[in-house]
Amino acid sequence: MIGAPPTPLAHGVRFALGVLLLCVWAGRPVEAQHRPEPRGTTAGTIQPAAAPVVHRGLPAAYAGHPALPPVLSALLPGAGQLVQEQNRGWGYLALEAVGWVVYADRRRSAGRYRDRYRDLVWETARTQAGDRVDGDFTYYERLTQWTRSGRFDRDEGSPGVQPETDASTFNGSVWDRARRIYGLPSGPLDADGAGFAEAVTYYEDRAYRDAFLWDWSGHADERERFGSLIRVSDERFQHATLALGLLFANHLISAVDGFVSVRGLSLELAPAPVGTGLRMRWEWTP
pLDDT in tens, 173-189: 999 999 999 988 877 77
pLDDT above 90 coverage of the chain, percent: 49
Confidence (pLDDT) at 35? 47
pLDDT at position 213 over 90: yes
The mean pLDDT value of the chain amounts to 78
Radius of gyration of the chain (CA): 31
pLDDT at position 193 over 80: no
Is residue 97 very low, low, confident or very high in pLDDT (cuts 50, 70, 90)? very high
Is residue 5 very low, low, confident or very high in pLDDT (cuts 50, 70, 90)? very low
C-alpha span between 35 and 41 (Å, rounded): 13
DSSP state of 76: S
Confidence (pLDDT) at 223? 95
Confidence (pLDDT) at 135? 93
pLDDT at position 45 over 80: no
pLDDT at position 257 over 60: yes
pLDDT in tens, 57-75: 555 545 456 778 888 889 9
Is residue 211 very low, low, confident or very high in pLDDT (cuts 50, 70, 90)? very high
| Predicted model pTM | 0.64
Is residue 133 very low, low, confident or very high in pLDDT (cuts 50, 70, 90)? very high
C-alpha span between 90 and 23 (Å, rounded): 7
**3-class DSSP state for residue 270?**
strand
Is residue 159 very low, low, confident or very high in pLDDT (cuts 50, 70, 90)? confident
**Residues in CB range of 254: below 8 A, 6 or more apart:** 73, 74, 77, 78, 80, 81, 92
pLDDT at position 210 over 50: yes
246 touches 99 (CB < 8 A): yes
Confidence (pLDDT) at 169? 97
pLDDT at position 4 over 60: no
Q: Which of 141-150, 211-220, 275-284 has the lowest mean pLDDT?
A: 275-284
Confidence (pLDDT) at 160? 83
pLDDT above 70 coverage of the chain, percent: 67
